[in-house]
A and B are shown apart, each in its own frame.
Chain A
Amino acid sequence: MNLTLKIWRQQNPADKGGLKTYELGGVSEDMSFLEMLDVLNEQLNETGEEPVAFDHDCREGICGSCALMIDGQAHGPEVTTTCQLHMRSFKDGQTITIEPWRADAFPVIKDLVTDRSAFDRIIQAGGYISANTGSAPEANSVPAPRDKATRAFNVATCIGCGACVAACPNGSASLFLGAKITHLGELPQGQPERDGRVASMVAQHDAEGFGGCTNIGECTAACPKEIPLDVISQLNKDLRTAIRHGH
């Protein structure tokens, strides 16, 4: 199929940037979206124009590197990651607009690549259980109720891609934050630090310039791992408890 691509080109963080239009032919519907961009880049390299920069690594939907706004939708029209999106989701002759994540807390580095290090700093603020290597008790000495462990797993599948932030009109990272709070809060091992964790992770979230949550729900609709909205209720509940406990 033949496509018209409008792609955000930006040399560096200081550059203003803008959309540039490319025509691309010979796209097969078995290609993944990123393989389609590979073909474009090979073509650009031949014609002497610098290839488009975009983040990607596993191309299996699990590392969370890929992150494109496709026609205004985070990760495009399907509920999946950009790398798992295939060209059969598009039509011959279609015009596709490709942009980076848009959020104050994710500044653009170049073209379609943004800086998502704010997520690491939120984890640093408390997204862990303190258990030094070697200090762990025998694994089966603390049973974990199966339903809680299953819920913990379901939300722990968050890949840290940032689509929730990009989709949110407020640029909030509440879904990402709620997923981690819920994961650790559902497990017996996560209890001792539960109050402190939520208080400091929320403080870091706000300090990074992410917006507040007003329950719009765009985040969960865009999330490739289908993290449910109830993790945000859990987050608020845990935060209230923490405040009550003097945090």
Chain B
Amino acid sequence: MAGSTLHDGSSPLNQAAKQTSDDAHGYYVAGEPLVDPVTPTGPIADRWTTRRFENRLVNPANRRKLDVIIVGTGLAGGAAAATLGEAGYNVKSFCYQDSPRRAHSIAAQGGINAAKNYKEDGDSVFRLFYDTVKGGDYRSRESNVYRLAEVSTNIIDQCVAQGVPFAREYGGLLDNRSFGGVQVSRTFYARGQTGQQLLLGAYQAMERQVAAGTVTQYTRHEMLELIVKDGVARGIVARDLVSGEIETHLADAVVLASGGYGNVFFLSTNAMGCNVTATWRAHRKGAYMANPCYTQIHPTCIPVSGEHQSKLTLMSESLRNDGRIWVPKKVEDCDKDPRDIPEEDRDYYLERIYPAFGNLVPRDIASRQAKNVCDEGRGVGPLVGDFRRGVYLDFTDAIERMGADVVKEKYDNLFDMYERITGENPYEVPMRIYPAVHYVMGGLWVDYHLQSNIPGLFVTGEANFSDHGANRLGASALMQGLADGYFVLPNTIRDYLADGPFEKITEDDEAVVEARRSVEKRVETFLSINGSRSADSYHRELGHIMWEYCGMERSEEGLRKAIDMIRELKKDFWTDLKVLGTADSLNQSLEKAGRVADFIELGELMCIDALNRRESCGGHFRAESQTEEGEALRHDEEFAYVAAWEFGGEDGSPVLHKEDLIYTAIEMKQRSYK
């Protein structure tokens, strides 16, 4: 690493942020600054080792007496359940699907990063750390990210031992590829199904603990409330989705590994059931929500084909390695057969604007430029509303250069998937792609121990905000989920549990009774509004607002408008919702209603967060903050902080707590891809 970026870690390289703009004035209340109470110090490379040693141990005989609830069975939750079960704690695991193996992590395609440096191409823990901080546009915490890079290597060892069938070379050793424009090959993969294989590894490890009696699994259960007694998290209220029964589960600690909330946009690449309910309920009980507006929009997804669309499908980023992206130069060519448009009438806009990086610019840039050309009326594909929302991803040159067989070998499963969905053959007609919401960097605020500001409540995986700053590198979410689940949480939660078992809490405790009653009341309300619109129709409408005003480009005016629209939508929802069926049986409309109600509230907070952050950073692009050439412009002196929002009450305004981001190992720089 160049000398200018390496630092011994003793003194800060930047100053604390002082915000001078106040776009969100009137929408929020300023709160006390926030500091991570367990932030580590000392040389960055030693911090995690030191902390692991300092954190107290729990006597093996005591572990059996300690109950830990884990909501979520994706990589973050499944890995944690297995590991804490192996350690001998008494774990209760929850998921809304019919099996833990179906958690959304199963859908990840591309791969998982680890600083193994097997290719001897100059990779190292420090480089992965550096790339992640830079990729996150200097909006993440150095200590957390360094730890993530550090444990990444253990993850691969662990997964291989479990039988995860990673791709291998002829000599039988593990293969790597380069991913998402990174210059080193550090991505481990299992064809296009890496998430599936990693999740099955965690799932099987967890099922082994179910058999051993340390983990009890509650499938088809949805957490609907957090139980907080005397300011400490002590359990959850869940609905058995089959019988409809409202149950309370009490514990010494609660872990939320409930995934991301990208479905607030209605259309996203997330699974249909992905939701914010678990974290939003915790937020309403006092947990801070950090950087909720940071959303990652993935440039290569299959475009919307009509109003019926229920979700969007991601096409692996690797396609950009060989495909060329273009739109017609002339608006009048947009409904022509692309094969009839001559070369000189095509605009390979990424290659034109970014000659050095071309089609391999980062996700946010590729996405925004696709939006720009479509806004200009040069999009392709069917008209959706007044616009054509699609750009061509063309493999004609690649097929000429490498031959159809090589292209087939590399991309056949993706081409098949594309053809199955669109009915078009990409070997003959250029693919059409368009950006779609893919991942959220925002989530519940946690400290270095992954503990929220509510003692006893831990948050892992995509559900927390911790490691990716304002943008995430490809193949790093799987890494974070498994780092949190296998290696970080088990080593931090023990420091909390060392004080346990805590005083027993009973079913008739006021906090428990109150939490249960509020859930029962909410369920009754949904069933009794008896209006005219389905929860799904509200979800669609919310999604339109979010995508239009809080999507790829956000402006002060648009965000204000969105907030008003969401407030109206919320009123309408609570007066005109229609949910049929009963509370005491499987009722998918009822489940949906609860999720949509929470998405609406989250949507408002996302817009307020985006309004406050008058800068462009990572996945958040504010129209008011760009260079003359239209590139994103960060304002470190004002915004190098984590925005942690406290719930302001039913009709109150959210309270903003700022946690300064101080860099000691890496110097902040503006990104440039020109």
Rounded to whole angstroms, the CA-CA distance of A143 and B79 in the bound complex is 24
Number of interface residues of A (CB under 8 A): 77
Is B536's CB under 8 angstroms from A145's CB?
A: no
Measured between beta carbons, the chain A residues less than 8 angstroms from B205 are 128, 131, 133
Q: C-beta contact mask, B566-579 vs A, less than 8 Å → 1, else 0?
A: 00000000000010
Is A137's CB under 8 angstroms from B161's CB?
A: yes
Is B306's CB under 8 angstroms from A139's CB?
A: no
Q: Which of B160, B193, B490 counts the most chain A CB atoms within 10 A?
A: B160
Rounded to whole angstroms, the CA-CA distance of A153 and B174 in the bound complex is 13
Rounded to whole angstroms, the CA-CA distance of A35 and B100 in the bound complex is 25
Rounded to whole angstroms, the CA-CA distance of A218 and B166 in the bound complex is 30
Is B196's CB under 8 angstroms from A190's CB?
A: no
Measured between beta carbons, the chain A residues less than 8 angstroms from B162 are 128-129, 131, 136, 189
Is B310's CB under 8 angstroms from A86's CB?
A: no
- Check if A156 is an interface residue, CB within 8 A of chain B: yes
Rounded to whole angstroms, the CA-CA distance of A128 and B159 in the bound complex is 12
Measured between beta carbons, the chain B residues less than 8 angstroms from A127 are 204, 207
Query: For residue A186, which residue of chain B has the nearest CB?
Result: B165
Query: For residue A161, which residue of chain B has the nearest CB?
Result: B102
Rounded to whole angstroms, the CA-CA distance of A5 and B519 in the bound complex is 36
Rounded to whole angstroms, the CA-CA distance of A115 and B219 in the bound complex is 11
Measured between beta carbons, the chain A residues less than 8 angstroms from B311 are 59-60
Please tell me which one of the listed residues A60, A128, A153 contacts residue B208 in the complex, with CB atoms under 8 A apart: A128
Is B107's CB under 8 angstroms from A62's CB?
A: yes
Measured between beta carbons, the chain B residues less than 8 angstroms from A64 are 99, 101-102
- Check if B537 is an interface residue, CB within 8 A of chain A: yes
- Check if B158 is an interface residue, CB within 8 A of chain A: yes
Q: Which of A138, A139, A140 counts the most chain B CB atoms within 10 A?
A: A139
Query: For residue B219, which residue of chain A has the nearest CB?
Result: A117
Please tell me which one of the listed residues B165, B173, B309, B537 contacts residue A153 in the complex, with CB atoms under 8 A apart: B165
Min CB–CB distance B345 → chain A (angstroms):
28
A133 touching B158 in the complex, CB below 8 Å, given contacts A28-B306, A59-B311: yes
Binds B, one of A49-57, A91-99, A205-213, A236-244: A49-57
Is B306's CB under 8 angstroms from A113's CB?
A: no
Binds B, one of A37-45, A69-77, A164-172: A37-45
Measured between beta carbons, the chain B residues less than 8 angstroms from A53 are 586-588
Rounded to whole angstroms, the CA-CA distance of A84 and B413 in the bound complex is 13
Q: C-beta contact mask, A143-162 vs B, less than 8 Å → 1, else 0?
A: 11110011011001101100
Q: Which of B82, B102, B219 counts the most chain A CB atoms within 10 A?
A: B102
Is B586's CB under 8 angstroms from A38's CB?
A: no
Min CB–CB distance B159 → chain A (angstroms):
8
Measured between beta carbons, the chain B residues less than 8 angstroms from A28 are 306, 308
Rounded to whole angstroms, the CA-CA distance of A55 and B83 in the bound complex is 29
Rounded to whole angstroms, the CA-CA distance of A50 and B589 in the bound complex is 9
Rounded to whole angstroms, the CA-CA distance of A28 and B308 in the bound complex is 9
Min CB–CB distance A194 → chain B (angstroms):
11
Interface secondary structure of A, over-half rule: loop
Is B98's CB under 8 angstroms from A116's CB?
A: yes
Measured between beta carbons, the chain A residues less than 8 angstroms from B219 are 117, 120
A57 touching B116 in the complex, CB below 8 Å, given contacts A12-B585, A146-B169: no
Please tell me which one of the listed residues B106, B118, B421 contacts residue A86 in the complex, with CB atoms under 8 A apart: B421
Is B83's CB under 8 angstroms from A133's CB?
A: yes
Is A120's CB under 8 angstroms from B165's CB?
A: no
Min CB–CB distance A14 → chain B (angstroms):
11
- Check if B170 is an interface residue, CB within 8 A of chain A: yes
Within 8 A of A (CB), among B135-172: 154, 156-163, 165-172
Within 8 A of A (CB), among B207-243: 207-208, 210-211, 217, 219, 242
Is B157's CB under 8 angstroms from A136's CB?
A: yes
- Check if A34 is an interface residue, CB within 8 A of chain B: yes
Min CB–CB distance A190 → chain B (angstroms):
6
Query: For residue B314, which residue of chain A has the nearest CB?
Result: A60
- Check if B649 is an interface residue, CB within 8 A of chain A: no
Q: C-beta contact mask, B523-558 vs A, less than 8 Å → 1, else 0?
A: 000000000101011000000000000000000000
- Check if A220 is an interface residue, CB within 8 A of chain B: no
Measured between beta carbons, the chain A residues less than 8 angstroms from B310 are 32, 34-35, 38, 59
Min CB–CB distance B101 → chain A (angstroms):
6
Query: For residue B211, which residue of chain A has the nearest CB?
Result: A124
Rounded to whole angstroms, the CA-CA distance of A61 and B193 in the bound complex is 11
Min CB–CB distance A217 → chain B (angstroms):
24
Query: For residue A142, which residue of chain B has the nearest CB?
Result: B160
Is A58's CB under 8 angstroms from B193's CB?
A: no
Rounded to whole angstroms, the CA-CA distance of A156 and B167 in the bound complex is 13
Rounded to whole angstroms, the CA-CA distance of A222 and B99 in the bound complex is 21
- Check if A3 is an interface residue, CB within 8 A of chain B: no
Rounded to whole angstroms, the CA-CA distance of A200 and B167 in the bound complex is 29
Measured between beta carbons, the chain A residues less than 8 angstroms from B157 are 136-139
Query: For residue A87, which residue of chain B has the nearest CB?
Result: B308
Is B586's CB under 8 angstroms from A120's CB?
A: no
Is B82's CB under 8 angstroms from A133's CB?
A: yes
Is A136's CB under 8 angstroms from B161's CB?
A: yes
Q: C-beta contact mask, A7-35 vs B, less than 8 Å → 1, else 0?
A: 00001100000000000000011111011
Q: C-beta contact mask, B384-426 vs A, less than 8 Å → 1, else 0?
A: 0000000000000000000000000000000001001111000
Min CB–CB distance B320 → chain A (angstroms):
20
Measured between beta carbons, the chain A residues less than 8 angstroms from B82 are 133
Q: C-beta contact mask, B265-304 vs A, less than 8 Å → 1, else 0?
A: 0000001110000000000000000000000000000000
Is A160's CB under 8 angstroms from B158's CB?
A: no
Min CB–CB distance A90 → chain B (angstroms):
13
Is B490's CB under 8 angstroms from A30's CB?
A: no
- Check if A214 is an interface residue, CB within 8 A of chain B: no
Is A136's CB under 8 angstroms from B160's CB?
A: yes
Please tell me which one of the listed residues B104, B420, B587 contacts residue A80 in the complex, with CB atoms under 8 A apart: B420
Min CB–CB distance B78 → chain A (angstroms):
12
Is B490's CB under 8 angstroms from A133's CB?
A: yes
Query: For residue A63, which residue of chain B has the nearest CB?
Result: B102
Rounded to whole angstroms, the CA-CA distance of A117 and B161 in the bound complex is 26
Q: Which of A123, A137, A138, A145 counts the most chain B CB atoms within 10 A?
A: A123
Query: Taking beta carbons and an 8 Å cutoff, which residues of A are in contact with B?
Result: 11-12, 28-32, 34-35, 38-39, 42, 45-46, 48-51, 53, 55-65, 80, 84, 86, 88, 109-110, 113, 115-117, 119-120, 123-125, 127-140, 142-146, 149-150, 152-153, 156-157, 159-160, 183-184, 187, 189-190
Query: Taking beta carbons and an 8 Å cutoff, which residues of B are in contact with A?
Result: 79, 82-83, 86, 97-102, 104, 106-107, 116, 118, 154, 156-163, 165-174, 190-191, 193, 196-197, 200, 203-205, 207-208, 210-211, 217, 219, 242, 271-273, 305-306, 308-311, 313, 417, 420-423, 486-487, 490, 532, 534, 536-537, 578, 580-581, 585-589
Question: 9 more A-B contacts (CB under 8 A) besides A30-B308, A42-B536?
Answer: A32-B421, A45-B578, A45-B589, A53-B587, A57-B271, A84-B417, A136-B161, A144-B172, A150-B168
26 residue pairs from A and B, CB less than 8 Å apart: A42-B534, A42-B537, A45-B580, A46-B534, A56-B272, A59-B272, A60-B271, A62-B193, A63-B104, A84-B421, A120-B100, A123-B203, A128-B162, A128-B205, A129-B161, A136-B160, A137-B161, A140-B173, A143-B172, A144-B172, A149-B165, A149-B172, A153-B191, A156-B190, A189-B161, A190-B163
Top 3 closest pairs, chain A to chain B, by CB: A143-B172, A136-B161, A128-B204
